[in-house]
Structures are given as structure tokens and as C-alpha cells.
Amino acid sequence: MKYEKHIFICNNQRDENAPRVSCGETTGNEIAARFKELIQEHKLRMRVRAQRTSCFDICEKGPIMVVYPEGVFYGGVNLEDVEDIFEQHILNNRPVERLRLHFEKR
């Protein structure tokens, strides 16, 4: 794997009349920008990558993001949560349980 941590942040944006909300309409873009800043500040560009992505189809729980290689999904992420996720999960491998989404196994 190229990166030790790979962060995908939904920034899907539907038009304003769409029946579902979308992460890009709320804070998805700002969340991605803040992760990128933190990666720069910590000089981790070769080891950690944050990038915007499209819909994970769990829009109502958004804003949504996921961290690999663990495959930990976070929902309802606000801009104020980014530093917590960065500090706890990205730097110290401890997922932030209060924001973590769990899915039933199929």
C-alpha cells in the first residue's frame, strides 16, 4: 500500500432540488481542505493522503468519510472534529468511537 493512511472524504453535491442531502453541500469540502492542511503541517505528505470522493450512499448520516487501511467510516463529521480524528486516528491509530459508523455484516 502506498500510504500508511488514506482518507476519503465525500464531497458529492446534488442539485438543490434533489430528494437526498449530500455531503458536499454541508462541510465535505472544508473537511477535506483541513485534513490536507494538517498533513502538510505535520510533513506527512508521503505517508498520508486525504482526497475528496463521491457518494458512499449513506448520505443521511453525512458528512461521511472513511480511513483506510482500517476501513473505518465516520459520519456526522463536522469541521471541529477533524483535528480529533487526525490526532487520534491518523497519528495514533485510535479510531474516534463517538463518530464511527458500524454496519451490519451481510
Residues binding ligand FES (CB under 6 A): 10, 12, 22-23, 55-59, 62, 64
Task: Give the nearer residue to ligand FES in terms of CB position, either 56 or 74.
Answer: 56
Whichever of 55 and 96 has its CB closer to ligand FES, that residue is 55
Cα–Cα distance for residue pair 103/87, rounded to 1 Å: 24
The least CB distance from residue 30 to ligand FES, in Å, is 14
Q: Which is nearer to ligand FES, 69 or 76 (CB)?
A: 76
CB of 88 to ligand FES, least distance (A): 22
Residue 1 amino acid letter = M
Determine if the peptide bond prior to 69 is cis (ω within 30°).
yes
Measured from the CB of residue 66, what is the shortest distance to ligand FES in angstroms?
10
Least distance (Å) between residue 61 CB and ligand FES:
8
Q: How many CA atoms lie within 13 A of 86 on its CB side?
A: 22
Q: Which residue has the cell 493522503?
A: 49
Would you say 39 or 64 has its CB closer to ligand FES?
64
Q: Where are the beta strands (DSSP E) in 1-106?
A: 5-10, 48-53, 65-68, 72-74, 100-101
